[in-house]
Amino acid sequence: MKVYISSDIEGVTNVTNWDETELYHDAHEAAKKQMTREVVAACRGAIAAGATEIFVKDAHDSARNIIAEELPEEVTLIRGWTGSPESMMAGLDETFDAVIYIGYHSGANYDGNPLAHTMNTQNNYFRINGKDAAEFDMNTYVAACHGVPAVFLSGDEQLCEHAKELVPSIETVGVKYGVGGATFNMNADKACRLIEAGVEAGLKKREECRIEEPETYDVEISFKEPAKAYRACFFPGVYSVDARTVSYTAEDALEMMTVKMFIL
């Protein structure tokens, strides 16, 4: 079995402030250690379920957070950014059996995590077919377009609930919740233990986690700055809705991600 793990940091337990997510900041040390521990726990769960090949995408910021030497032999670690539209899912293709998300966070326009955002902090929302999307949504559509089910997610509790709306059978572990600017965090060892068990459980029911791709992707983006909306509406197929808002329709997930890559 071949498994793809996409890992972010804002949904890792105890991570609360932006400075903890920044490479070279002193506060990043603890965050990258726990991000690594949660990814290693996911790898253990995957191996227990029969995974023989695991690709791990470090998918936060510079994509150089995970401590490589901590990962098991089965892992190929993807650091940095390919520049392809799959973004946090770079390298995923139809040869994979399942996708796992670690350290994921609520999207823009949600309040379940003080670090909630969708792809960057310059938009108020990224809406797909009428629903405010998190990175989880776009990445799960990318996976679906390659025929790969998303079977497990760990991150903030609000995102876990959100994820089940798209993939009802997905296994989740909510390691924290946000109240205003604060986070209420699960013990780090317990989080790892639950992630390991949850990944194994999710992989065992991966066939139940398959979803149908929508016919089209009707996207609406609200930018914080009107200037960004003005610039975006010059991209072919992107239309101005109002001073801050643009829309476009994509035929498949990769087209949705390609347009996003150039305008967001």
Q: Which residues make beta-bridge pairs with 99?
A: 4, 150
Give the count of residues interacting with Zn ion (CB under 5 A).
Answer: 3
Is residue 171 within the footprint of Zn ion (CB under 5 A)? Answer: no
Candidate segments 7-15, 88-96, 120-128, 172-180, binder of Zn ion by CB under 5 A: 7-15
Helix (H), strand (E), coil (C) string for the chain = CEEEEEECCCCCCCCCCHHHHCCCCCCHHHHHHHHHHHHHHHHHHHHHCCCCEEEEEECCCCCCCCCHHHCCCCEEEECCCCCCCCHHHCCCCCCCCEEEEEEECCCCCCCCCCCCCECECCEEEEEECCEECCHHHHHHHHHHHCCCCEEEEEEEHHHHHHHHHHCCCCEEEEEEEEECCEEEECCHHHHHHHHHHHHHHHHHCHHHHCCCCCCCEEEEEEECCHHHHHHHCCCCCCEEEECCEEEEEECCHHHHHHHHHHHC
* CB nearer Zn ion, residue 118 or residue 172: 118
* CB nearer Zn ion, residue 134 or residue 209: 134
Interacting positions 8-67 with Zn ion (CB under 5 A): 8, 10, 60
- Output the smallest distance, CB 239 to Zn ion, in A: 29
* CB nearer Zn ion, residue 149 or residue 174: 174
- Output the smallest distance, CB 39 to Zn ion, in A: 14
- Output the smallest distance, CB 139 to Zn ion, in A: 12
* CB nearer Zn ion, residue 101 or residue 248: 101
* CB nearer Zn ion, residue 60 or residue 176: 60
Cα 34 to its chain centre, rounded Å, is: 17
Residues sharing a CB contact under 8 Å with residue 131, sequence separation 6 or more, in sequence order: 137
Candidate segments 2-10, 89-97, 138-146, 225-233, binder of Zn ion by CB under 5 A: 2-10
- Output the smallest distance, CB 61 to Zn ion, in A: 6
Interacting positions 143-162 with Zn ion (CB under 5 A): none
* CB nearer Zn ion, residue 8 or residue 137: 8
- Output the smallest distance, CB 11 to Zn ion, in A: 8
- Output the smallest distance, CB 9 to Zn ion, in A: 5
* CB nearer Zn ion, residue 60 or residue 127: 60
Q: Which residue is nearest to Zn ion (CB)?
A: 60
**Which spans of this chain sit near Zn ion (rule: CB under 5 A)?**
8, 10, 60
